[in-house]
Chains A and B, each alone.
Chain A
Amino acid sequence: DAGITQSPRHKVTETGTPVTLRCHQTENHRYMYWYRQDPGHGLRLIHYSYGVKDTDKGEVSDGYSVSRSKTEDFLLTLESATSSQTSVYFCASWTGADTGELFFGEGSRLTVL
């Protein structure tokens, strides 16, 4: 399995506080992704990165920002967490080739009270 680790794995926070989730990969993959998963909604793309300092919005990017200062790290920040951002967040990496597969982390469960 590709080395994709997410931290923290679980976090409880209060409305209005900032939260940063970290994704770290050891495969030197060019592309990295952040998805959120809620019951009944499957995986929804928040933001993705196609290289260091190169990022773009996904389907549900409002309220989230990302940064990628190194190939191996992709950070997802909730500037001011809201209860609607309670979710499970998955990070993934991809080689970028058409025949390449996405490698997912184990997820970070965030609860905003």
Chain B
Amino acid sequence: LAKTTQPISMDSYEGQEVNITCSHNNIATNDYITWYQQFPSQGPRFIIQGYKTKVTNEVASLFIPADRKSSTLSLPRVSLSDTAVYYCLVGYNTDKLIFGTGTRLQVFP
């Protein structure tokens, strides 16, 4: 199974926009891209999901280029409470849902 690749960690300051990119070169035609957020001692929770182009909800935007081999999660104006680990998950046309290592985002005041 192809794996997703993300930066291990990122730092930011409050009020800045943060972009986290995930590489998924072997994405299949029917696969969707989903991002999750995990705080310490909690289970991950859904942030956003997309198939192509751009998706926006109340907390984030997801940008997916035409070739769909990567995706970028954009968090506008981060706050300290956005400090967490972010995972991208791609459904490789299978129910065997395997996560990558995630990106640890640290937001500083």
- A residues contacting B by CB (< 8 A) are 4, 31, 33, 35, 41-45, 48, 50, 56, 58-59, 90, 92, 94, 96, 98-99, 101-107
Contact = CB atoms under 8 A, between A and B. Distances in A.
Q: Is the interface of A mostly helix, strand, loop or mixed?
A: strand
Contacts of B69: none
B99 A35 contact: yes
B53 to A, nearest CB: 15
Contacts of A99: 32, 49
B81 interface: no
B36 A102 contact: yes
B30 interface: yes
17 contacts: A33-B97, A35-B99, A42-B87, A42-B100, A42-B101, A44-B99, A45-B99, A48-B95, A48-B97, A59-B98, A98-B30, A98-B31, A102-B36, A103-B46, A104-B45, A106-B42, A107-B43
A104 B101 contact: no
Interface size class of B (residues with CB under 8 A): 20 to 34
B49 A50 contact: no
A106 B43 contact: yes
B96 A48 contact: yes
Closest 6 CB pairs of A and B: A104-B43, A101-B46, A43-B99, A42-B101, A42-B102, A98-B32
B57 interface: no
Contacts of B97: 33, 45, 48, 94, 102
